[in-house]
Structure 1
């Protein structure tokens, strides 16, 4: 999927604050149900990705493409900026810098000063996965599976490694390791300091979900709905659970429970230690929106037009809200708020008064 190049002038409103992008598999400091609708905002296009949080701002990108900046407390529109270029994926913030992969005759990874929009450097290649930041290093993987670590200051190449296949997931960092899944079915761990391959485990089919961390294990899911956990240090598969349907690109992990949304209209809660299915919750539509979780509650949305809050431990329904249309974009969890945008171009923000 192609994404719009962000309008950097809007990001200057954030000052020195960094957008909350979250970490895969980690719970956020979120709000517990029952929730109240705080506000809605009509947009000019369907959402591209989930809402991002920056202090008192909520940022939401649309298909037009337009980036909205809204007051998180009352929904007042503080800015609205359109774009005239296309990028492969949403960008990544690293302090005052902003990195993103740009398409065109000469595709490249570009790093800009987000306060002035001045381009600091670029690195040639087609980068359609969101890069990750580790200290003063930007680690990115191109569409051919080349992983490259670049110095943030000037783009100097520090190391280069090969995944051995096209990437299908974003990179996940854990300590000195970087994990990725490929279209050819490999789950790969690289040394994040040198690029040296630590291990490679064949899952025998395309990896679908970004790896998440579960203590000493790394968990992902394949395109057919096989959820697998492997030891972080060795790649040895610890457990496997077949759900039998296309999983969401993002998984949620909190309180020892892994939450997976599937195209069979269900959310599943798996024991993160064993893979056993603790619960299943049926919606009335295909689930493509990635769930999120607090320490007590899993939040997920479906193409049936509902936002659901489920008990994390047993999956029973705690609360639900009827939206104006189907949801495909991820649910976003911020400090004491939940945000979700529908394909009918309406952004909803929920919280507790």
Structure 2
């Protein structure tokens, strides 16, 4: 994915915690990932622990971390945190109510993040000052908000039954596209992926993937899958890819929405796919990590974990990183699927990693499998 606009978001939530050990010297790439109420920084080459902190109120981290420069951003069930990437010390936190979820976005001095509201089914999208954590604006509705995406001074995200476009500086609504999903259903909507001024997102309630014009909010096309869609889509080589509860990975023509091919696993796919060099990588609840050709779905390799994979993979410097419900984090050779290392955490790992190179490059599965 070379021309994707999702490169604009940053990743991570920060939190305060008790130090487990002294940090190791920064000589290699670093993998940041959460497991329950623990946050880890691991050496990307060896899997050795660099530092490890625990959420100070024993609340679980809720979502994946994002890194911008020396700061890591991450949500927990209770608060939004910012940590120092070198040692895990807390810079600030924001008491955002409860059930903060999703991947934050950092852009132009602001942090945009989903947040819980005063009631369980009331949520907000918050804009905070990235340096101080001061609230700049909030947009509130019912239903959960997805992770946001930035494009041309606007923020795009799903909430309740709709895709919203807000002005990033003010929070003023530009347009809203509303699906026909009944309001009484507990349907989930994926975060959007934006490519060439088109936003793609999925619905678990209608089993549909939508393509929406980002300038006008008009629908370009919709595709009806065979079951619920829980993974954010990703795009490459004129195709849109997404996983589905019917055990299939779908590839659609990005311009028309026509089905190109499917690849079938042995269980539902809720791990968002990522593309690189003509290969799609994704996990399945059947306990396998897959690599398939992006043009035709032909398999390249399958790595058997033996436990549910909900974590979306990240590709960085030739390796695939992801977590599993067996409490482990894995690093695989992206070309062969051979395991480089594994690291055991304290709990199941459903979040996705964020990888930062020693040169400062940031790699993240993101909302749609796009990488920075």
**TM-score, with normalisation over the residues of structure 1?**
0.76
State yes or no: 1:136 paired with 2:109.
yes
State yes or no: 1:335 paired with 2:317.
yes
Aligned-residue RMSD, C-alpha: 3.1
State yes or no: 1:188 paired with 2:150.
no
**d(CA) in 1 for partners of 2:307, 2:262:** 23
Structure 1: state its 5+ residue gaps. Answer: 18-53
**Is this contact kept in 1: 2:62–2:76, CA < 8 A?**
yes
**Is this contact kept in 1: 2:21–2:51, CA < 8 A?**
no
**Is this contact kept in 2: 1:10–1:69, CA < 8 A?**
no
Which SS does the other structure have where 2:272 is aligned?
Answer: coil
Which SS does the other structure have where 1:142 is aligned?
Answer: strand
**d(CA) in 2 for partners of 1:121, 1:281:** 42
By relative contact order (CA 8 Å, sep 6+), the higher-ranking structure is: 1
Where does residue 46 of structure 1 map in the other structure? Answer: none
Deviation at 1:74, TM superposition (A): 3.1
Deviation at 1:263, TM superposition (A): 1.0
Where does residue 125 of structure 1 map in the other structure? Answer: 97
**TM-score, with normalisation over the residues of structure 2?**
0.73
Among 280, 297, 305, which residue is 1:323 paired with? 305
State yes or no: 1:147 paired with 2:125.
yes
**Is this contact kept in 2: 1:299–1:310, CA < 8 A?**
yes
**Is this contact kept in 2: 1:300–1:331, CA < 8 A?**
yes
Which SS does the other structure have where 2:142 is aligned?
Answer: coil
Among 149, 167, 180, which residue is 1:172 paired with? 149
| Residues 143-152 or 278-287, more deviating | 143-152
State yes or no: 1:156 paired with 2:134.
yes
Where does residue 216 of structure 1 map in the other structure? Answer: 197
**Is this contact kept in 2: 1:258–1:272, CA < 8 A?**
yes
Cα–Cα, structure 1 residues 278 and 248, in superposed 2: closer, same or farther, change >3 Å? same
Among 225, 246, 255, which residue is 1:243 paired with? 225
Q: How many pairs align?
A: 308
Where does residue 283 of structure 1 map in the other structure? Answer: 265
Where does residue 326 of structure 2 map in the other structure? Answer: 344
Q: Deviations over 1:228-268 (max 9, x none)?
A: 00001111000100003122332222222111111111111
Cα–Cα, structure 1 residues 74 and 187, in superposed 2: closer, same or farther, change >3 Å? same
**Is this contact kept in 1: 2:16–2:89, CA < 8 A?**
no
Deviation at 1:81, TM superposition (A): 4.2
**Is this contact kept in 2: 1:305–1:324, CA < 8 A?**
yes
Matches within 5 A, 1:29-40: none
Deviation at 1:201, TM superposition (A): 0.7
